[in-house]
């Protein structure tokens, strides 16, 4: 393999590893605060339902609550994906630390596929997922499978990169649902005033 190819492979591997080490924790922190605020708004709305229903109307009140609950559900999924990525990162770092030779170069698990055969990937998926809870096992198997096209990512790379991407997508959908709920409530107020 040419020196330029090795450098390119190292750059991609470092980029993927950095992405899954940094992004999930930051998105998870944002999602936590979004869920806290959304839950507080929903709780206040339910508590003051007797005063809000005449102003928002039954339909406006219900839809606003449904959108806020949808946002909370999407936030939960985002946080579950974040937990998968953060735990996998910690396990990977611990494995690398413990399996590295004291005098040798530190071991690094690559996110890029070398010559992984489908059998090796399936064994990895089964062994990796065996001790995990059902929902994490299901997610890790689903996210790490090949999709019928060649991938430059290894099984662990596909798992972590896809989980990070989906975590961000669910966090953004939670934001959209929260904004939609607030806008629906505001538009319901406007409609009743006229």
Cα distance between residue 44 and residue 40, in whole Å: 6
Of 137 and 160, the structure prediction assigns the larger pLDDT to 160
The pLDDT value given to residue 105: 63
Of 75 and 153, the structure prediction assigns the larger pLDDT to 75
Least confident of 83-87, 140-144, 156-160: 140-144
Kindly report, residue by residue over 49-80, the tens digit of the pLDDT. 998 888 888 888 999 999 999 999 999 999 98
Structural domain range at position 38: 3-193
- What percent of the chain shows pLDDT beyond 90? 31
Give pTM, 2 decimals: 0.75
Q: Report which of 107, 73, 88 is spatially closest to residue 164, judged by C-alpha positions.
A: 88
Q: Report which of 38, 159, 185, 180 is spatially closest to residue 92, judged by C-alpha positions.
A: 159
Residue 148 has pLDDT above 60, yes or no: no
CA torsion angle for 66, 53, 181, 65 (degrees, to 10)? -20
- Of 10-24, 50-64, 85-99, 148-162, highest mean pLDDT: 50-64
The pLDDT value given to residue 162: 82
Per-residue confidence band for 83, with pLDDT thresholds at 50, 70 and 90: confident
Count the domains in the chain: 1
Kindly report, residue by residue over 91-146, the tens digit of the pLDDT. 777 777 777 667 666 666 666 555 556 666 666 666 666 776 777 667 766 666 65
Distance of CA 165 to the CA centre of its chain: 6
Q: Helix, strand or coil for residue 153?
A: strand
The pLDDT value given to residue 10: 74
């Amino acid at each position: 393999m040419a020196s330029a190819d090795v450098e390119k492979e190292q750059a991609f591997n470092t980029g993927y590893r950095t992405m899954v080490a940094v992004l999930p924790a930051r998105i998870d922190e944002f999602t936590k605060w979004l869920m806290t605020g959304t839950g507080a708004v929903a709780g206040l709305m339910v508590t003051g339902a007797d005063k809000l229903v005449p102003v928002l109307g039954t339909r406006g009140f219900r839809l606003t609550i449904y959108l806020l609950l949808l946002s909370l559900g999407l936030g939960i999924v985002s946080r579950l994906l974040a937990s998968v990525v953060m735990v996998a990162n910690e396990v990977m770092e611990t494995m690398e630390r413990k399996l590295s030779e004291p005098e040798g170069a530190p071991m690094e698990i690559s996110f890029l596929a070398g010559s992984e055969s489908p059998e090796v990937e399936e064994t990895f998926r089964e062994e990796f997922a065996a001790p995990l809870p059902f929902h994490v096992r299901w997610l890790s198997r689903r996210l790490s499978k090949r999709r019928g096209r060649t991938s430059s990512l290894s099984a662990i790379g596909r798992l972590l990169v896809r989980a990070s991407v989906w975590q961000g997508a669910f966090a953004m959908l939670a934001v959209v649902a929260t904004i939609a709920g607030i806008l629906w409530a505001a538009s319901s107020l406007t409609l009743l005033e006229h």
